[in-house]
Amino acid sequence: MCDSTEATGGTTTRPHIYFCRSPNMEDFTCWWHPLSNLTDGEEVTHILTYSKEKEAKLECPDYVTGGPNSCHFDSSHTSIWMVYCLTVTAITTHRNYTSKQHCLDVAEIVQTETPVNLTYNLTDVGGDEMGHNALISWTYPVPAHVQYGWITLVYELQYRRITEPNNWKVKYPLREPQVELLGLPVDDYVVRVRCRAQHSKLWSDWSATLVMSIPPRQSAGKLLVLILVTGVGVVALLVITFSIVLQSKRIKEYFLPPIPKPRIIGIDPLLLKKGNLDEINRHFSNFHSYRPPSYSEEVWDHVRKKSRLN
């Protein structure tokens, strides 16, 4: 059997290493496209070999972690500032097919994770005419990747109005996971952010978009009118309440007048209390149908005795 790097009839006859990535400069993974011109039922085995600088060739240490058609190098097999050269060989029953050599430096294939947790906070100090300010912040999903200083992150933030899908405004480069946008007109905005290692050309994927709403601010004149109206209303309510409290007795007498005591017109109530019958009879004699009662001496004696006992 012999190695082949030829193409027949326009069909690829060898594997191809198409992408390598390290998330943190401590390990990395490479993926390849497998042989694509197999006949039905033909079996093939792919083997990745690599060498560092001028060292001897070694076989891939892990074909599983990165998924199908991949090779993963853990921290014990990863060295920075050294060049790795890799090839993939497809072994069939008829011949071998070897890919082109793919060389890399781990520091140059760092592709960071996508930023998460985008939030915003309005910090404006001006009015609608001057525009509004908003503080945008986010986090890196795996802090352990950057805590030892192997990677220095650089961020790029883009934002636009919802109504202007192709008019992105860019903030770059950003060293901190936050930025303040100044002078934003009232509107709805879309914000997204991505990052990369400082010495890498590979950007992370874009974060999930954040929808940011800048509401209009009430003018000073309208706010002053609202405060005055509210103040007048409160004062008027207090005055009415105090008036009701002070006039509660009169209001009660108006709605619930006192029940008058029974009295006879023209008769002094004191006469009834004193029991002066002659005086009472004299007053009642003015009525034509009234006849003064006659009392016997026995009754008067009884009344006099009773009065003395009292």
> DSSP per residue over 250-295, as a string?
HHHHHHSPPPPPP--TT--HHHHHHT-HHHHHHHHTTSTT------
Contacts 24+ apart (CB under 8 A), 48-52: 48/86, 48/87, 48/88, 48/89, 49/86, 49/87, 49/89, 50/84, 50/85, 50/86, 50/87, 51/84, 51/85, 52/79, 52/82, 52/83, 52/84
Pair (136, 80) in one structural domain: no
Q: 136: which 2 tokens?
A: 């945008």
Residue for token pair 């990863």: 78
Q: What is the pLDDT of residues 58-69, one digit of tens each?
A: 999 999 999 999
- 142 belongs to a structural domain: yes
> How many structural domains is the chain composed of?
4
Start-to-end CA distance of the chain, whole Å, equals 152
- 308 belongs to a structural domain: no
- 38 belongs to a structural domain: yes
- 303 belongs to a structural domain: no
What's the predicted TM-score (pTM) here? 0.61
- 300 belongs to a structural domain: no
Q: What is the pLDDT of residues 29-68, one digit of tens each?
A: 999 999 887 776 678 899 999 999 888 999 999 999 999 9
**With b meaning 16 or more CB within 10 Å and e meaning fewer, what string describes 91-127?**
bbeeebbbbeebebebbebbbbbbbeebebeeebeee
Pair (270, 245) in one structural domain: no
Print the domain residue range for 236: 220-255
Final residue of a domain: which of 214, 246, 274?
214
* CA geometry: angle 160, 164, 169, nearest 5 deg: 30
* CA geometry: angle 152, 156, 161, nearest 5 deg: 160
Pair (128, 208) in one structural domain: yes
Cα separation, 16 vs 3, in Å, equals: 15
- 76 belongs to a structural domain: yes
The region, left, alpha or beta by phi > 0 then psi within -120 to 50, assigned to residue 235 is alpha
Radius of gyration (C-alpha) of the chain in whole angstroms? 52
Q: 160: which 2 tokens?
A: 């636009």
- 202 belongs to a structural domain: yes
- 310 belongs to a structural domain: no
Pair (247, 192) in one structural domain: no
CB 108 within 8 A of CB 198: no
Instruction: Indicate the SS3 state at residue 238.
Output: helix
Pair (67, 94) in one structural domain: yes
Pair (135, 60) in one structural domain: no
CB 101 within 8 A of CB 15: no
Pair (53, 90) in one structural domain: yes
Q: Which CATH number fits the domain that encloses residue 34?
A: 2.60.40.10
pLDDT tens digits in sequence order for the chain, 310 residues long = 334 444 344 455 789 999 999 998 889 999 999 988 777 667 889 999 999 988 899 999 999 999 999 999 999 999 988 999 999 999 988 888 999 999 999 989 999 999 999 999 998 755 556 678 999 999 999 888 777 667 889 999 999 999 999 999 999 999 999 999 998 998 999 999 999 998 888 999 999 999 999 887 655 556 677 788 888 888 888 888 877 776 776 666 666 666 666 555 556 666 556 656 666 666 666 665 556 665 555 555 555 555 555 5
Pair (159, 179) in one structural domain: yes
DSSP 147: T
Nearest to 110 by CA among 190, 203, 215: 203
